[in-house]
Copies of this chain bind each other. A is one copy, B any other.
Amino acid sequence: MDETNLDWDDLKLFLAVARAGGLSAAAEATGKSAPTLGRRMLALEAVIGAELFRRLPRGYELTEQGTALLAKVVDLEAQIRPLNRSATKHGGSVVKISAGSWMTHALCQNIQTILKGNDAARLRFISAEHVLDIAHREAVIGIRNRRPEQGVLACRKIGRVQFAGYATSKMIKPWVKVTVKTPSALWLAAQPHNAVNIEVSAPRNALDLACAGVARAVLPTFIGDAQQDLVRVTPPISELAHDQWLVTHHEQRFRPEVRRAIDRIYEVARSLHRRAQ
C-alpha cells in the first residue's frame, strides 16, 4: 500500500475502534471484520508514524497520541455526518432555524412572538456555533455573523452585536473558558493577563458559572444585560462586535411558513438589539 497517502476512511474506522475499545465491537459497529480493522489500524499507524493503540488481550487501548487523534476525528465526523443523504431528508413541514447558542436561547425566550400566526409548520431550533449550510438545507433560516457570499442565499441585516465581560461583581477576576472555537473564546485565549480558572464545553454553562459568582464570562450584551444578577465588568469588546444577518435560501423564503418565521424572527432579533444598545 501507499504509505504516504492517508486513507481518510481509515480515520473513520479508527474512530469506531477507539470508541468500541477493540476490534470485535468495532467490527459489529462498522460491518467490517476484525482482521480487516486490525490491518487498517496498522496501516493508519504506519502512515501517521505513531502508535495509536496499546494492543491488550481484551481489546485496544488508546495511547496519548491516539487520544489526541480521536479528538480531531470526532470533530471531523461531526462535519462529515450531515453530508449523508439521510441527514438531509425532508420529513414533513419543518422550518429549521440555526443560530448560535445565545441567539437560540433568546429566540426561545421570545417564542410567543415568533409563533404568532404560524401554525402551519413546526419550528426546529438548531443551536450550533458553526454555520449550517442553508444551500443544502441543513437549515432553512440562519442567523449569522457574516454576510453570506453565495448567490442562492437571501440575506437581511439585523443589526450589530456587542460583547462584554460579565460577572456578579467587579471584584471577581478570573474568567471561565469555553472550549469551543468561537470568536469570543478565541479572544479570551488571546488575552494573556486574563486568568482562567475553569472551563466548560457549552457556552450556556459559562453563563451558569458567571451567575454562580465564581468567574467572568464573555457574553453578548443582549444576553448579559438581561441577567439581573450580572453586571458588566468590562466595556464592550470592540474586537468581538459584528453585524448580524438573517439568512435564508432564495427558493425557500417564499414559502408562507418560512416567510412568517423570517418576519417574526427579524422582529424579535431587532428588539433584542434595541434593548442591548
Given A124-B201, A198-B122, A201-B128; A136-B209 close (CB under 8 Å): no
Please report which residues of chain A, range 106-132, place their CB below 8 angstroms from some CB of chain B when the two chains form the complex: 108-112, 115, 122-128
Chain B residues whose C-beta falls within 8 Å of the C-beta of A9 in the assembled complex? 7-9
Given A70-B138, A135-B61; A127-B205 close (CB under 8 Å): yes
- In this complex, what residue of B is CB-closest to A208? B108
In the assembled complex, the CB of A75 is this many whole angstroms from the nearest CB of chain B, namely 7
Please report which residues of chain A, range 72-90, place their CB below 8 angstroms from some CB of chain B when the two chains form the complex: 72, 75-76, 79-80, 83-88, 90
Chain B residues whose C-beta falls within 8 Å of the C-beta of A90 in the assembled complex? 64
Residue-wise interface mask of A (197-218) relative to B, using a CB-CB cutoff of 8 A (1 in contact, 0 not): 1111110110011011110000
Task: Find out whether the CB atom of A111 lies under 8 angstroms from the CB atom of B212.
Answer: yes
Interface status of A186 (Cβ within 8 A of chain B): no
Given A104-B205, A111-B212; A85-B48 close (CB under 8 Å): yes
